[in-house]
Amino acid sequence: MTLRSRFIGYLLVLHLPFAGLAVVLLLRNRLWLLAVEAAFLLSLSWGLRLVHRLFGTLDVLRSGAQLLNDSDFQSRFHETGQTELDALVRVYNRMADHLREERTQLQEQHYLLARILAVSPSGIAILDFDGRIDFVNAAAERLLGLTAEALRGRALADVDAPLARELAALAPGEARVVALWGGRRVKCHRGSFVDRGFPRSFLLLEELTEELRASEKAAYGKLIRMMSHEINNSVGAVGSLLDSFRGYAPDLGEEDRSDFLQAITVAVTRLENLRAFMNGFAEVVRLPPPDRRPTDVKQLVDEILILLRPELDRRRIAVRWETSEPVLPIELDRNQIEQVLVNVLKNAHESIGEDGAITLRLGDQGRPFLSIEDSGPGIPEDVRALLFTPFFSTKRNGRGLGLTLVQEILSAHGFEFSLGTGEGGGAEFRVGF
């Protein structure tokens, strides 16, 4: 039984017994009986009206609460002419208007933010209250190398990706530049925000590879040009003097003449070696734009292997094509890509030393690719992030420009490339054309 029914029942129980008693007591005096009965009817009708008005207000409150519970801010109540109820209706309508406007504004802001996050060139990852990945945009997917579906719900420390492990080690509010394989650099920042009274974290990832590469190139280019200018000028002048000194050989005794000429020859040879050494640095700076022409990549690799065959046979290193799918000719600068492949293959057989194998793969996985994997010891963990750094070399007499030249040529072509550990544990160089 509802509260309204109880009130009506109460009024009936209160009035009907008194009405019956009035009939018994005033039956002989009909005028008084009619007057008393009329008073009871008037009291009862007024009481019922008060009950309906009271519960009309409660009905409005109940309906308003239900609409709020259903998040329905479109419905409105009309004023009834009752002062108290109309005041309540006006308050509710103003509140619903305000809530509707706020919800619309939040929806628009949420949509705008979602669109910005989706197209942002910076990677963005948002963690839930437990520190697990709740959202990643397309840029973050690309940097982490996994899809949003594969990342969502996982802790950063559980994601098998080098960048994810670096992100897991970031402290709240910390920012650092992380070096990845292939010479890539990513600036990572970990921030926090409050969601429903509890802290959450977000990660901002900004790839700086091209910016840092351009900055590094400008720096080492200026240094190389200055060194090349000074050394070539000195080498030319000193070489000219040494050639002039050869004319004094006949004036020397027989015993001293041989040593004199040998010393001049050694000095001239050393100067030429120094000139060649500096020219090797200058090649990186003077690299011309690629002259692209259709090229058969497999044929190019096979021709380079013929060039390197004597050294490979001496080291007892076997070279085999594991897969060689037909690939259409690639638009590239043959001479420049030949430099790249010679450099990579020389690094491969030097890494092996002796008695090993180099495995080649050529195919198409959405885009043509070439993979060169050696059976050497692989790349040490502390070296991987420094591989494409100018002047860095793991070789005793290395200049540290081989991979820098490779990087410059492939970047100028717009080819993707990576150098990491292959399935067999050795180093694997992979280029996507």
Domain limits for position 203: 120-207
Of 405 and 48, the one with more pLDDT? 405
Q: Are residues 427 and 298 in the same domain?
A: yes
The structural domain count of the chain equals 4
Instruction: State yes or no: pLDDT of 182 exceeds 60.
Output: no
Domain containing 158 — which CATH number? Answer: 3.30.450.20
Q: Are residues 305 and 280 in the same domain?
A: no
Output the pLDDT for position 422.
Answer: 78
Domain containing 425 — which CATH number? Answer: 3.30.565.10
Name the helix (H) or strand (E) containing 145. Answer: none
Q: Are residues 307 and 230 in the same domain?
A: no
Q: Are residues 309 and 254 in the same domain?
A: no
| Selection from 324, 378, 320 nearest residue 347 by Cα | 378
Output the pLDDT for position 37.
Answer: 61
The answer to the question of residue 260 being in a domain is: yes
Q: Are residues 275 and 335 in the same domain?
A: no
Segment 52-66, tens digit of pLDDT = 665 555 566 666 667
Unique residue bearing structure tokens 């040879």: 269
Instruction: State yes or no: pLDDT of 431 exceeds 70.
Output: yes
Of 82 and 139, the one with more pLDDT? 139
DSSP-H helix ranges across 246-296: 254-285
193 φ, ψ (degrees, to nearest 5): -150, 170
Neighbours of 349 (CB within 10 A): 20
Neighbours of 215 (CB within 10 A): 11
Q: Are residues 396 and 426 in the same domain?
A: yes
Instruction: Encode 32-79 in three state secondary structure.
Output: HHHHHHHHHHHHHHHHHHHHHHHHHHHHHHHHHHHHHHCCCCCCCCCC
Percentage with pLDDT > 70 across the chain: 66
Output the pLDDT for position 281.
Answer: 63
The answer to the question of residue 326 being in a domain is: yes
The answer to the question of residue 144 being in a domain is: yes
Least confident of 225-239, 359-373, 378-392: 378-392
Under DSSP, is residue 354 helix (H, G, I), strand (E, B) or coil?
coil
Question: What value does the mean pLDDT of the chain take?
Answer: 76
The answer to the question of residue 265 being in a domain is: yes
Please name the residues in contact with 77: beta carbons below 8 A apart, sequence gap of 6 or more: 60, 63, 64, 89, 92, 93
The answer to the question of residue 377 being in a domain is: yes
Instruction: State yes or no: pLDDT of 246 exceeds 60.
Output: yes
Banded pLDDT at 331 (limits 50, 70, 90): very high
71, 104, 137: which is the final residue of a domain? 104
Q: Are residues 199 and 141 in the same domain?
A: yes
The answer to the question of residue 181 being in a domain is: yes
Of 420 and 44, the one with more pLDDT? 420
Segment 183-200, tens digit of pLDDT = 677 888 998 888 888 889
Segment 25-44, tens digit of pLDDT = 555 566 655 666 666 667 66
235, 265, 285: which is the final residue of a domain? 285
Q: Which two tokens stand for residue 10?
A: 């109460």
Instruction: State yes or no: pLDDT of 395 exceeds 60.
Output: yes
Segment 351-373, tens digit of pLDDT = 888 898 999 999 887 788 999 99
| Selection from 87, 98, 156 nearest residue 126 by Cα | 156
Q: Are residues 97 and 194 in the same domain?
A: no
Q: Are residues 36 and 144 in the same domain?
A: no
Q: Are residues 68 and 99 in the same domain?
A: yes
104, 132, 150: which is the final residue of a domain? 104
Looking at residues 394-418, what average pLDDT do you find? 74
Residue 55 · residue 3 · CB < 8 Å: yes
The answer to the question of residue 112 being in a domain is: no
Instruction: State yes or no: pLDDT of 114 exceeds 80.
Output: no
Q: Are residues 278 and 309 in the same domain?
A: no
Banded pLDDT at 217 (limits 50, 70, 90): low
The answer to the question of residue 327 being in a domain is: yes
Segment 269-300, tens digit of pLDDT = 777 777 776 666 666 666 778 888 999 988 88
Q: Are residues 10 and 96 in the same domain?
A: yes
Q: How far is 187 from 176, CA to CA, in rounded Å?
A: 6
Output the pLDDT for position 347.
Answer: 85
